Amino acid sequence: MHLPIYQTLFVATLSFPSGLVAAVPSGSRLSPKCHPGGNFDLSNWNLETSIDNGTGRPLIISAAKLGAGKDGCKNGWHDEGPEHEWFYTDPKDGAMVINAPGYSDEHPCIRTSGSVHCRTEFHEVSPSSWPPNATTNHLHVKLVGLKGSNVVIGQIFQAGTGANKPYAELYYHDSGSVIMGVATCPGGSNDGCNQDMQTIGTAPLGEPFTYDIRFEKNVLKAGLNGKMKTVKTYFMTPGAWFKFGNYNQGTDDASLHIFEMMVQH
């Protein structure tokens, strides 16, 4: 488990396709020479991509392949495209780069059945689910958004309700607004229920920030840079699990750089 590393920031002269200049952590412990599985503990996650697995379905990368037998630095999976298109280590600062294409009729992508959105997103697999009434269920991520008009950067997904739907999704907009969308019924859109959109805070593109999601003692909380808010909920799910990464809701491409990730149960 990688515990949070809170660091001072400086502005580095790194140029990105969006034209943004990002502030990145100084004294980072991330190695630019390691694949993501060597810099981050990904042993409890699998990764869903927008890459064709050969049958027209998304390629799913297992935790074992991400960690490559505990030699994730050298052998952990990363996108070996000509320019490391979707998932790789930034060669300058060691950040985990998570990119996802936008979707439109003119530019379709490989995506999960029932979803119209593209993603490069981690799904928690160990534990396969956890009770929201437990004392500790905590996801912490430090990232910088470089482009993407609307990206889900974190999720709580239902388990045990019979509904294959998110319980809550954390949306990050290019305006800087971060909003938690909370399901108002288990079936969500399948049952004609909209999400209740609750503002969490702001985080401008190109500036690193942390987010935390806690679902503990049946209370949902979310926050930016350590400032937590209690989020209104509408029903209780008997089980849940986390997702994080780049679940791109827009028609434009989206890019995130991850500096920290920690989960606690």
| Contacting residues for 32 by C-beta, under 8 A, at least 6 apart | 89, 90, 91, 92, 93, 94
Could you give the 3-state DSSP secondary structure of residue 8? coil
pTM greater than 0.85: yes
Question: Is residue 20 situated within a structural domain?
Answer: no
pLDDT digits (tens, 9 = 90+) for 155-194: 999 999 999 999 999 999 999 999 999 999 999 988 999 9
Question: Is residue 167 situated within a structural domain?
Answer: yes
Question: Is residue 5 situated within a structural domain?
Answer: no
Look at the chain and report how many structural domains it folds into.
1
Give the per-residue pLDDT at 3: 36
Give the per-residue pLDDT at 25: 44
Question: Is residue 255 situated within a structural domain?
Answer: yes
Give the per-residue pLDDT at 106: 81
Cα distance between residue 259 and residue 64, in whole Å: 21
Helix (H) or strand (E) holding 169: strand 166-173
Give the per-residue pLDDT at 20: 46
Give the per-residue pLDDT at 23: 42
Angle (nearest 5°) at CA 188 between 147 and 131 = 90
Q: Which amino acid is at 41?
A: D
Select from 120, 96, 110 the least CA-distant residue to 46. 120
Question: Is residue 179 situated within a structural domain?
Answer: yes
Contact call for residues 51 and 101 (beta carbons, < 8 A): no
Give the per-residue pLDDT at 8: 28
Q: Which domain holds residue 205?
A: 30-264
Contact call for residues 36 and 42 (beta carbons, < 8 A): yes
Select from 111, 125, 127, 54 the least CA-distant residue to 247. 111
Cα distance between residue 128 and residue 45, in whole Å: 10
Structure tokens, 132 = 């929201």
Question: Is residue 16 situated within a structural domain?
Answer: no
| Contacting residues for 256 by C-beta, under 8 A, at least 6 apart | 97, 98, 99, 143, 144, 145, 146, 148, 151, 153, 245, 246
Q: Which residues of the chain have pLDDT under 50?
A: 1-27
Could you give the 3-state DSSP secondary structure of residue 260? strand
Find the CATH number of the domain harbouring 63.
2.60.120.200
Give the per-residue pLDDT at 113: 77
Contact call for residues 21 and 14 (beta carbons, < 8 A): yes
Give the per-residue pLDDT at 81: 74
Question: Is residue 4 situated within a structural domain?
Answer: no
Residue 258: CB atoms within 10 A of its CB come to 23
Cα distance between residue 182 and residue 192, in whole Å: 14
Angle (nearest 5°) at CA 86 between 213 and 175 = 50
Question: Is residue 235 situated within a structural domain?
Answer: yes
